[in-house]
Every structure is written in structure tokens, then in C-alpha cells.
């Protein structure tokens, strides 16, 4: 894990020669309910970068909602649309667009998608929480906000899927614990971990003080070796 994070960071994506981050894009990944969109929006507000939700790009391209694609055309068709949208987005990042991106819960699990993202040298962040907490958040959003998640299913299916997917998410360069923290706290920690500063106001967004869930229990933020690599590159003058 440490080795992997180092080799990715050493491609020079994360540290600039002036010691500041030159990351062009940050991709947030994790299971349903991880807080990818809430954290992404808040992080984008703080950094002054554009935010993008990959599911929204899919919906624009397909002219229908994610749950409609699932219902009318099935998951295989959705995954094809997801990959096409991702390729388009990566093309924009390669052309120089800065973006904070929230991926759908299954996007990084698809081998080819992960390969494309890793090849592009994107800073990936796994937003982590226990499966029980994720379930509570998703159930809450379904009941309260009528958020439709085609793969939500039963608690036992949700648990099985989470178990299968977690090793994929764990490939992300950065890991960020989210339980017991407000969106704003997560963003502050994350900006520090990645080595990006918000530069200006300490709190611009209204979403920033919201908690990701009504329940909270503490856990600590985990960093991979990428952070150490950034610091090492800075010490060495960061010429890669």
C-alpha cells in the first residue's frame, strides 16, 4: 500500500517545484453514502475549483436520471455510459481543467476506470466510513430526500457489496475518515493531507458545517505514503 502510494506520487503529480501542490484534479471515491458529493462541493468552494459529479455528467449525456438508466437499460449499459463520461472528463483534465470530482460508488471498482484514472495521475481520495454508518446515511437520504439509489437494496446486500468493493477503494492514494466529522472538518483535513490550501476565506459554503450523518463516532484520518512523498519532494526541491 505504502509502496503503491509512493510510486504514484513520484510521478510528480502531487508536488510542484515551488513546493505547492500542482494537482490538477482530485477524485473522491468510496461507497454509496461516503459523502463524495457533499465533501467535493465544499472542497471546491474552499479551493475555488470547479466541482463535478460524474453521475450528473452521465445524466446530461444520456438525457435521463441514473435510476432511469438502471431501470430501462440495466447496469451494464450504465457502466458503459459511466466509462464514456469518465473518458470525456479525463480528456478535459488532460487539457488542463482543474476539477474536484465525485465519482459514483461503482466507478473506481471497474478495472478499466481505475486504470484510466491512475494513468492520468489523478489524486484519488477514499472517503471512508463503516458500513453501518454508510447504510444509515443512505437510508436517511432515501427517506428524507427521496434519493434513489438503484443498488441500495437490503442491508445484507449492501454489506456484501461493500465488502467486495472496499479493497478497490483502498487503492486510492489518500484515505480520509469521515465518521463523526462535519463536511468542513473533513475538507480542512483533506486539504492539509493533499497539500492544497484554500488560500482565502475559511468558510464560504453553507454546506460546510453540516455533518455527513446524524450519528457520529470518532475515528482518525489515515494517510498513505503519498503525503510523506510530497514532503520528501519538497525537501529535495521537488524537481519531479
> What DSSP letter does each residue of 61-115 carry, written as one string?
HHTS-HHHHHHHH-HHHHHHHHHHHHHHHHHHHHTT--EEEEPPTTTTTSHHHHH
Q: Which of 10, 73 has the CB closer to ligand S3P?
A: 73
Question: Residue with CB nearest ligand S3P?
Answer: 104
**Which of 12, 19, 140, 150 contacts ligand S3P by CB under 6 A?**
150
| 172 is a contact residue toward ligand S3P (CB under 6 A) | no
CA 10 vs CA 7, 108, 126, 128, 189: distances in Å: 5, 21, 19, 24, 22
Backbone angles phi and psi of 8, in degrees to 5:
-70, -45
**Which of 5, 13, 39, 104 contacts ligand S3P by CB under 6 A?**
104
| 32 is a contact residue toward ligand S3P (CB under 6 A) | yes
Helices (H), 107-223: 111-119, 131-145, 155-169, 183-194
Q: How far apart are CA 29 and CA 15, in angstroms?
A: 21
Cα radius of gyration rounded to whole Å, the chain:
17
**Which of 64, 65, 149, 234 contacts ligand S3P by CB under 6 A?**
149
| 40 is a contact residue toward ligand S3P (CB under 6 A) | no
**Which of 35, 40, 105, 121 contacts ligand S3P by CB under 6 A?**
105
DSSP state at residue 197: -
- If binding means CB under 6 A, how many residues of this protein chain bind ligand S3P? 10
Q: Which of 105, 225 has the CB closer to ligand S3P?
A: 105
| 22 is a contact residue toward ligand S3P (CB under 6 A) | no
**Which of 45, 52, 55, 229 contacts ligand S3P by CB under 6 A?**
55
| 66 is a contact residue toward ligand S3P (CB under 6 A) | yes
Q: How far apart are CA 76 and CA 22, in angstroms?
A: 35
Q: Rule CB under 6 A: which residues touch ligand S3P?
A: 32, 36, 55, 66, 104-106, 149-151
Amino acid at each position: 500500500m505504502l509502496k503503491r502510494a509512493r510510486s504514484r506520487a513520484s510521478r510528480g503529480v502531487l508536488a510542484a517545484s515551488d513546493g505547492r501542490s500542482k494537482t490538477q484534479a482530485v477524485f473522491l471515491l468510496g461507497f454509496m453514502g461516503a459523502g463524495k458529493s457533499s465533501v467535493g462541493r465544499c472542497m471546491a468552494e474552499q479551493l475555488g475549483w470547479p466541482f463535478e459529479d460524474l453521475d450528473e455528467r452521465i445524466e446530461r449525456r444520456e438525457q435521463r436520471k441514473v435510476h432511469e438508466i438502471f431501470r430501462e437499460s440495466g447496469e451494464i449499459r450504465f457502466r458503459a455510459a459511466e466509462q464514456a463520461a469518465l473518458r470525456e472528463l479525463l480528456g478535459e483534465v488532460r487539457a488542463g481543467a482543474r476539477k474536484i470530482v465525485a465519482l459514483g460508488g461503482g466507478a473506481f471498482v471497474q478495472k478499466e476506470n481505475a486504470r484510466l484514472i491512475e494513468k492520468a495521475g489523478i489524486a484519488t481520495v477514499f472517503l471512508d466510513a463503516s458500513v453501518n454508518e454508510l447504510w444509515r446515511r443512505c437510508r436517511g437520504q432515501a427517506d428524507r430526500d427521496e434519493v434513489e439509489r438503484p443498488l441500495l437494496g437490503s442491508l445484507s446486500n449492501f454489506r456484501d457489496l461493500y465488502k467486495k468493493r472496499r479493497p478497490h477503494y483502498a487503492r486510492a492514494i489518500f484515505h480520509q475518515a469521515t465518521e463523526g466529522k462535519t463536511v468542513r472538518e473533513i475538507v480542512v483535513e483533506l486539504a492539509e493531507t493533499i497539500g492544497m490550501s484554500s488560500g482565502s476565506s475559511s468558510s464560504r459554503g453553507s454546506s460546510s458545517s453540516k455533518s455527513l450523518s446524524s450519528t457520529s463516532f470518532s475515528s482518525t484520518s489515515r494517510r498513505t505514503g503519498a503525503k510523506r512523498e510530497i514532503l520528501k519532494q519538497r525537501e529535495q526541491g521537488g524537481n519531479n
